[in-house]
Amino acid sequence: MPQFLEVGVGAAARRIAVLAREGAGPPVVWLGGFRSDMRATKAEALDAWAAARRRAFVRFDYSGHGESGGRFEDGTISQWLEDSLAVLEHCVAGRPILVGSSMGGWIALLATRALLAQAPGRAPAGLVLIAPAVDFTERLMWDAFPPDVRRQIEEDGVYLRPSLYGDSPYPITRSLIEDGRQHLLLSGPITTGCPVHILQGMRDPDVPWRHALALVERLPGDSVSLTLIKDGEHRLSRPQDLERLIAAIEGIALAE
């Protein structure tokens, strides 16, 4: 059963569900994707790996996701970053390895920037990013939307976008788009202060592999590895993909 962490105050208060496994460090922290949850395939595989290796592993649901409180349509990058930083502060001991999937890759980089500025002793020991959707609200959504969708978002405040991974569409709100502009990273260099390993499928319909190359170009001076998986799609949840993911984490952990 998860433990719950209270985040935010007043009308913005919400309960964040966290699953924490004790073990040796550096602790591995899972940052999930947009509309995903902490019991999805990759997170479950990492929990099984952590149990077998007796490694510390923490996973959680952003507000409006999975078992956490709040409504998904009220969520923004600012709010989900706040959730992540709260979990890192209260549920993680030492310098973690952040594993960010899709939107979680963006959140991982934003959390790293915040920790380097505010608490460098808790800054990540490494980052493993899976199809990192950095700046996705602007580059992969707004810039790609046709004029009628942009108009609907501006006038109605929401667009119900069809999903490739479920039967029901999901809301893209004006608040999500506008808030995302406060957190854009790809316009300048991105400092992490730690090794970064990116796993990217070349058949990914959501995060094009050239988007990962654009991120690599913004990571000057850091130890950066990029693994392009020619037949890989967005989720990278096949057995061979999970093996690559675990190998990337272990490569960083063994270097600590």
Catalytically active residues are 102, 204, 234
Assigned token pair, 19: 């699953």
Rounded Cα–Cα distance for residues 41 and 77 (Å): 23
DSSP secondary structure string, the chain?
--EEEEES-GGG-EEEEEEEE--EEEEEEEE--TT--TTSHHHHHHHHHHHHHTEEEEEE--TTSTTSSS-GGG--HHHHHHHHHHHHHHH--SS-EEEEETHHHHHHHHHHHHHHHH-GGGS-SEEEEES--TTHIIIIIGGGS-HHHHHHHHHHSEEEE--SSSSS-EEEEHHHHHHHTTS--TTS----SS-EEEEEETT-SSS-HHHHHHHHHT-TTS-EEEEEETT--SS--SHHHHHHHHHHHHHHHHH-
Q: Is the alpha carbon torsion for 60, 62, 67, 69 positive or negative?
A: positive
